[in-house]
Amino acid sequence: MRRGAAGQYPVFFTTSEENKMVIKQVELETVCGITSTLPQNTQPEVAFAGKSNVGKSSLINCILNRKSLARTSAQPGKTQTINYYHLNDSIYLVDLPGYGYAKASKSEVEKWGVMIENYLAESDMLRVIFLLVDIRHAPGKNDIQMFDWIKYMEYQPIILATKADKIKRSQLQKHIKMLREGLGADEDTIIVPFSSVTGQGRDEVLDFMDQVLENEYEDEE
């Protein structure tokens, strides 16, 4: 039995060393452009969305424990496709196009928006959406719109507060509160500080993915 909405999962997620997923195998299996047909996967998907230059490619490389599988660039807006990474032959990590790149043309912005919208609406196997927001700054207009859009699509996003190594540890809770209030997120919304430099937050993300697999397995019993 398939579950079609990530909102059915996240609020009970917990983290533990025992449950942490180990990434043994990674394959970039499918790359979809604006005219591509989305694959009809039969295994669960977890998607990563975020504004251009929020550090999404670096975060994905950190999670996968690979140096350059997801291409990083000093130029924002590099990810212009939907990239499906198949992990351990059991779950897909889906890298969505970055949004909010100021120098992109209007037509490019519209194309990226259509791609993300189509994915959220059409993927039967999407279980969790991770929304990346820079922990150093209050959420911008595009971040708020994306958060509201994900909620409108009846998903409960998990917020990954990127670049956590750029602020002092004593300021962490203050910045998490800033993100929560800026997004208009309730107390049930999970916010995970993340650093691609130190690996902070990686174990938590792997735990979430592992629990998706556990729920999928239990649901089929």
CATH of the domain at 204: 3.40.50.300
Domain enclosing residue 215, as ranges: 6-220
Question: In the predicted model, is pLDDT for residue 64 greater than 50?
Answer: yes
Please name the amino acid found at residue 54: V
Please name the amino acid found at residue 183: L
CB-count exposure of residue 203 (10 Å: 0-12, 13-18, 19+) = middle
Q: Give me the helix-helix angle, 106-122 and 141-152, nearest 10°.
A: 30
The sign of the CA dihedral 54, 132, 67, 166 is positive
Q: Across-strand partners of 203?
A: none
Question: Mean of the per-residue pLDDT values for the chain?
Answer: 84
Total number of domains in the chain: 1
Residue 35, in any domain of the structure: yes
CB-count exposure of residue 151 (10 Å: 0-12, 13-18, 19+) = middle
Mean pLDDT for 108-137 is: 87
| pLDDT for residue 221 | 53
Residue 1, in any domain of the structure: no
Residue 144, in any domain of the structure: yes
Residue 119, in any domain of the structure: yes
| pLDDT for residue 9 | 40
| pLDDT for residue 38 | 93
Where residue 66 falls among pLDDT bands split at 50, 70, 90?
Answer: confident
Residue 166, in any domain of the structure: yes
Residue 114 makes CB contacts below 8 A (sequence gap 6+) with 34
Mean pLDDT for 183-199 is: 96
Where residue 27 falls among pLDDT bands split at 50, 70, 90?
Answer: very high
| pLDDT for residue 119 | 92
Tell me the pTM.
Answer: 0.85
